[in-house]
């Protein structure tokens, strides 16, 4: 009897462990992303898995934008998490082709919809849309669960007002972006602005400074800013911008391309 009880307890422990490794993920509704601005996202994980991490996987809806990127979530207690999307680059939506349709027809967000719906929808929007999902990973990076892949439109900021909290604003200015393929290293985050992205994680989970976006910042130090010994370049630029006698308007610069 004692032996059977021990065996029963062992099976119960295994079952409980298996359950603990199978969380569910729910995300808040995201009606839009503001063009060239950040937007927050919240998610709930239940039950939480000790040592796990939560990630926002995202990409733009473009036939060449095959690979996802991801941004870590921050815990808020009680199984709740938050993070921030990077800023979408200003891009027109590509129209559907036969080859692209074969890729998109099996997307989660296409359930119950057909090609004609997708063609009509793509023709009706101006800005390139985005796709995203939220996933939970164990300490080794193995995915334990994910939410469905969702489609989100990118609207002009005046039509998509999504204010950030102070914490979210701080994170948006110091984003860490994970890569899912080696071809992403040393390149732009495809069709997202550099603004706020400071760190990358490669597919082997090695952190590094974002060389591409930092190079953009260096490349666009205006010619009218003269270097000053012992003063940081950022401070020099800021002083020049706010100096009423700075010599007129600086030349325009793109935050996404070096």
pLDDT at 130 over 90: yes
**Comparing 48-52, 132-136, 144-148, 211-215, which segment has the lowest mean pLDDT?**
211-215
**Alpha-carbon distance 190 to 220, whole Å?**
20
Looking at residue 214, what is its pLDDT?
A: 78
Peptide bond connecting 80 to the previous residue in cis, omega within 30 degrees of 0: no
Beta strands in the chain (DSSP E): 24-27, 33-34, 39-46, 53-60, 69-72, 74-77, 80-85, 130-137, 143-146, 150-152, 154-155, 175-179, 197-201, 207-209
pLDDT at 218: 44
Q: Report, in this order, helix, strand and coil percent for the chain, each rounded to 5.
A: 30, 25, 45
What is the average per-residue pLDDT within 40-68? 96
For position 5, what pLDDT does the model report? 45
Distance CA 44, CA 75 (A): 10
Q: Is the pLDDT of residue 63 over 50?
A: yes
6-15, 82-91, 125-134, 160-169: lowest mean pLDDT where? 6-15
**Average pLDDT rounded to a whole number, residues 45-66:** 96
What sign has the CA pseudo-torsion 112, 118, 124, 125?
Answer: positive
Please give the pLDDT value at position 216: 64
Contact 30, 150 (CB under 8 A): yes
Q: What is the pLDDT of residue 12?
A: 41
Residue 257 in this model has a pLDDT that exceeds 90: no
Confidence class for position 184, pLDDT limits 50, 70, 90: very high
For residue 22, what pLDDT is reported?
A: 87
User: Does the pLDDT value for residue 201 go beyond 50?
Assistant: yes
Q: Give the mean pLDDT of 133-147.
A: 96
Specify the CATH class of 24-219 in words: mainly beta
Q: Boundaries of CATH 2.60.40.10 in the chain? A: 24-219
| CB burial of residue 144 (10 Å; 0-12, 13-18, 19+) | middle
pLDDT, residue 221, reads 39
Sorting pLDDT into bands at 50, 70 and 90, what band is 254?
very low
Angle at 95 (CA atoms; ends 255, 89), nearest 5 degrees? 10
Q: For residues 245 and 258, what is the distance between their CA atoms, to the nearest angstrom? A: 28
């Amino acid at each position: 009897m004692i032996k059977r009880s021990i065996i029963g307890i062992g099976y119960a422990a295994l079952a409980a462990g298996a359950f603990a490794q199978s969380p569910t993920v729910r995300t808040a509704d995201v009606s839009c992303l503001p063009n060239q601005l950040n937007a927050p996202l919240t998610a709930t994980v239940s039950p939480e898995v000790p040592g796990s991490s939560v990630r926002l996987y995202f990409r733009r809806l473009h036939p060449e934008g095959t690979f996802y990127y991801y941004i870590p979530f921050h815990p808020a207690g009680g199984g709740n998490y938050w993070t921030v999307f990077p800023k979408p680059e200003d891009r027109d939506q590509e129209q559907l082709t036969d080859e692209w349709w074969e890729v998109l027809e099996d997307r989660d967000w296409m359930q119950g919809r057909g090609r004609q719906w997708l063609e009509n929808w793509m023709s009706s929007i101006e800005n390139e849309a985005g796709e995203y999902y939220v996933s939970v990973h164990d300490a080794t990076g193995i995915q334990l669960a994910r939410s469905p892949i969702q489609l989100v439109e990118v609207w002009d900021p005046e039509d998509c007002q999504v204010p950030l909290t102070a914490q979210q604003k701080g994170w948006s200015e110091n984003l860490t972006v994970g890569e899912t393929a080696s071809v992403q290293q040393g390149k732009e985050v495809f069709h997202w602005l550099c603004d706020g992205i400071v760190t990358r994680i490669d597919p082997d989970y090695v952190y590094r400074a974002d060389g591409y976006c930092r190079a953009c910042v260096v490349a666009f130090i205006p010619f009218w800013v003269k270097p000053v010994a012992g003063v940081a370049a950022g401070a020099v630029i800021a002083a020049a911008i706010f100096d009423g006698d700075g010599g007129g308007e600086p030349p325009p610069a793109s935050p996404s391309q070096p």
